[in-house]
Structure 1
């Protein structure tokens, strides 16, 4: 993921959080931070990776929110379906 900013502001601060309305899984940052649903985590860089691990066989939906300290929010939803096909 890359934050695309309209300007460079010295005082700009960003946070990330997620909510999981469907399913059960784990979202973590590339630095190993495991997110708890709806807790805010500071973003100290503009480029990062997120990893999702399914913990259920049902469809899963996560909503990821990136917010700045001026109240602007960008929300993205992701839907996953666990593949239980064994290949046989």
Structure 2
């Protein structure tokens, strides 16, 4: 195997991932990527400042709206249940 450590666990500070596969934040397949075996899944383009930027879309996570926080927490919970760790890509204008 060319990358013998790819499927072995990795510890980053106090977090242990089941493998070294990181699913990039493309699309809304957060749970599916975790179920597919990714060790870390990234919830992408999360807005972290009040007011949306002019080029954001309505389906992007928004850290200042209660529903969006709950929705994102639900996605993270499902990823954890599937055995993956979760990360958030922070976005600000």
TM-score of the superposition, structure 2-length normalised? 0.28
